[in-house]
Amino acid sequence: MEKSKVWDSIKNFLRNETSLKGEIDTVTAEEKIRNNIWFRGANVWILVCSVIIASVGLDVNSTAVIIGAMLISPLMGPIMGMGLSLGINDVDLLNRSLQNYVVMVGVSLFVSFLYFLVSPLNLIDPTELTARTRPTIYDVFIAFFGGVAGILEQSRKEKGTVLSGVAIATALMPPLCTAGYGLANARWSFFFGSMYLFIINTVFILLASYLVSLYLPFNREAASKMSAQKRNLYKWSPFILIAILVPSVISAVGLIRSNNFEMEVRDFVTENKTFGGSYIYDYEIQKGSSKKNRKVTVFFTGNEFSDEEMASLIASAKYHGIDEDKIKIEVNKNRYNDNIHEMMREIYEHTDFELAYKDMEIDKLKQELAAVKTDEIPYSQVTREIKYKYPYVSNVTISRGVNVGADNLEITPCISVITLSDHKLNDSVIAELTSWLKIRLNDSTVVVHSFTESENKLINNYDN
């Protein structure tokens, strides 16, 4: 009985926390989505500006510029319009959204194609462009949940900044511009890879919008208008989704395996950085989508390996998950124009720099240690000398401390010397002892205090 009450309490709590009741305004949301599907007037120029900004950002490898293009792109409008139209059975909205979507995609491809056709810049490593050519299942998750967040944000009464985040996360414009780059430079892997990413984003944003619009109370008075088209869509949609998902799953598996291979190589290199009389100065990984294409070449400099040493290296590679046919070991070969002398010079210079830096650190520590030793008080020797000069002194206490001014509370460091004897030292003896200690300890802050044995006992009794 108690368990049932607890479970009911949990269910009620979750229901109350996740309820959308009172937060949703589907009438205003539908009106806004319908207004955002159009490609005319200001939207035309905004799209063109977004395409050029994204193309420039991709061309110069600027993430910040690409994000700016994502935020101003109007491409999300017709995609959400298609998703909503399927949810509320509005064939007219579907047709208009689809028409505007096709025109927007065509214009985006054309403008980006023209930009990259005339752009003189050709980066050696265009990482931002390359990043849009290998979509995986993770991009599917991003597009779907981004679409869910987007339609929910459109439908709630209090608007926030969710749409900006959705625009950045789902990234519709950069893949299209990358496809334009592929067309302009006849790099078909870029074109097809980025178009695949764009299709993933489109389909799963649309799917999310459709499912959420089914759940939310949108007006579905037009249910009879799309019955035949919708039945056909339901019939073919599983095959369409599977056709889109399968390559992304394969790509994700390849990405994971490639990452694991890189980690295995890194561990192997770390363990065998110095081996026998040789040293690993570089390694080069050949990446590939399939296992047979992933290989690594490890560059050693130093002595040639004996058969036993080579077998030991291969065994170490196998231990780290690298098969014998996946690793190539090169000794005394520099992949930079085979300039072994230049490579050795760089290694020696680096080693000399490290040694010089360590020597500087050692000298610094030696100086600090010497300063400490110089600053150290020879307590035992000074005590013996005081007792020799003043035989009636029975005990000497020497310590570093501070003087605190009685009037202004000014704090100054000092060496405090306390003497104990049968009778208190007179002022002339204290002055003489103070002057001598200042010279002996090479410190002008010496302060001498004299107490009798009886005074010391009183102080100890008071403390106790």
Q: Indicate whether 259 pLDDT > 60.
A: yes
Q: Indicate whether 95 pLDDT > 60.
A: yes
Stretch 87-93: mean pLDDT: 84
Q: Distances in Å between the alpha carbon of 289 and those of 179, 262, 286, 315?
A: 21, 13, 10, 25
Confidence of residue 125 (pLDDT cuts 50, 70, 90): confident
Residue 296's H or E segment, with its range, is strand 295-302
For β-strands 278-286 and 295-302, DSSP reports them as antiparallel
Q: Spell out the domain ranges in the chain.
A: 20-221, 379-463
91 contacts 225 by C-beta, under 8 angstroms: yes
Superfamily of domain 379-463: ANL, C-terminal domain (3.30.300.30)
414-443 pLDDT, tens per residue? 888 888 888 778 888 888 888 888 888 888
Q: Indicate whether 113 pLDDT > 90.
A: yes
Exposed, middle or buried: residue 300 (CB in 10 Å: 0-12, 13-18, 19+)? buried
315-366 pLDDT, tens per residue? 888 888 888 888 888 887 544 444 555 555 656 665 666 677 777 888 777 7
pTM score above 0.75: no
CA atoms of 323 and 158, how far apart (whole Å): 58
Closest CA to 86 of 208, 239, 200: 208
146 contacts 152 by C-beta, under 8 angstroms: no
32-89 pLDDT, tens per residue? 888 888 888 888 899 999 999 999 999 888 888 888 888 888 888 899 999 888 888 8
